[in-house]
Structure 1
Amino acid sequence: MAVAAACLWSATVWAVDVGLSGLFPGKALLVIDGGEPRIVPVGVRTAEGVQVVAIDGDSATIDIDGRRRQLRVGQNVIQRPQAEGRATAVITADSAGHFLANGSINGMAVRFIVDTGASLVSIGASEARRLGIDASSGSSGVAQTANGLTQVSRVRLKTVKVGEIVLNDVEAVVHAQDMPVVLLGMSFLNRMEMQRNGDTMTLKKNY
């Protein structure tokens, strides 16, 4: 499953989505427009107009059609400016049609997949441990998944962030099994205005 685009700038009417997934000596692992991760050496400009200018520690300076930004590995989506000032995130579908995005839970980087069929933000067991979420502190229950019934623990997350959208006190479930990504379910999405245009999804925070 491809990594989602992590950052977005609008150099033209349609922006280029760029995610920083990893760093190597003199090279950066980028995800561009929701495609497969690719290694881009410093100084090389891709066909999409993305250039790795420099690498410094755990960050990289990226130039997109003349606009430079410094990214850290797994940095969140950055939306294009909106005239009305509402926080917005733009996510591009991968080749399989999945809308994935890098974001954060309680300030720690995670990978999300937009899932309107999930009632709550859903986190796998090992990911919850990495995030420092104590599943035992929540209320236990059973949830229906594609693989059948599974034990879950209902918890509340201090913050969930995608792009410049930050929600506080978001209800979630921690599954007893591991999951490849975190499901960005309706406990987050029902507080958004969602617009889809082809392989692009725009989320705007309602409240």
Structure 2
Amino acid sequence: MAVLPVSARAALWALAVSLGACNARAESVALAGMLGSKALLVVNGTAPKTVAAGETHQGVKVISTSGDQAVVEQSGQRQTLRVGEAPVSLGGASGRGSRIVLTESSGGHFMTPGQINGRAVQFMVDTGATGIAMSMQDAERAGINYKNGQAVQMSTANGVTQGFRLKLNSVRVGDVEVFDVDAVVVPMAMPFVLLGNSFLSRFQMKRDNNLMTLDKRY
């Protein structure tokens, strides 16, 4: 029987934890709505901001708007956003990088936007988690057909429930990408995706005060 780590259960009530800054260049961007001809952008999970064509918010520039969609640009990369769709990632490099540097948040956690199978997610580093852990809702937003994974029984604070084990094609933070990463999908809601040791073990980890440096080993 698989056991959900205590740290994963703790994440369920950690919505109040402030999200720390990091130097990963990919930006998670979603279109929350339209106010006339202005786009209501959500960047890296922050509060929605009304942005007109030609204006820039947190490095993301709105190129044009039409109906329920907006064309945005960051670092020369353009993407069309539509109201209600899952966030997309902008500004990432080739994925061939080898170092990730994260800054500790005021809550003592290391947070970073990233991608799973090319879809934007919000990670929290969890060295106590065996693999990457995410809710079914996050898996669906990332386009993961988790029901094709291996069904497992999981012990939680609320009793025994069913989750799914699977491999993720790719996991990316900034311009660093790794492939074939073990993960588990759990039925309870979670405020973010836990970045566990199936990803972290591929890096040499160094902690220096409020900075965490991950150097890719393989």
Which range, TM-score by smaller chain?
Answer: 0.5 to 0.7
**Residue in 1 that maps onto 2:102:** 91
**Residue in 2 that maps onto 1:117:** 128
**Residue in 1 that maps onto 2:72:** 59
Pair 1:125–1:37, CA change in 2 (3 A): same
Q: In structure 1, what is the Cα distance between the partners aligned to 2:42 and 2:144? A: 29
- Aligned residue for 1:167, secondary structure, equals strand
The one-letter amino acid paired with 1:167 is V
- Aligned residue for 1:187, secondary structure, equals helix
2:214 to 190, 203, 207: 203
- Aligned residue for 2:183, secondary structure, equals strand
**Residue in 2 that maps onto 1:170:** 181
TM-score, normalised with respect to structure 2:
0.64
**Residue in 2 that maps onto 1:153:** 164
Unpaired segments ≥5 residues, structure 1: 10-17, 45-49, 62-68, 80-84
Pair 1:148–1:173, CA change in 2 (3 A): same
- Aligned residue for 1:102, secondary structure, equals strand
TM-score, normalised with respect to structure 1:
0.67
**Residue in 1 that maps onto 2:21:** 5
Pair 1:181–1:30, CA change in 2 (3 A): closer
**How many percent identity over aligned positions?**
34
Unpaired segments ≥5 residues, structure 2: 1-16, 64-69, 80-86
Instruction: Work out whether residues 128 and 135 of structure 1, in 8 Å CA contact, stay in contact via their aligned partners in 2.
Output: yes
Q: In structure 2, what is the Cα distance between the partners aligned to 1:145 and 1:157? A: 23
**Greater RCO (Cα-Cα under 8 Å, separation 6 or more):** 2
Pair 1:28–1:178, CA change in 2 (3 A): closer
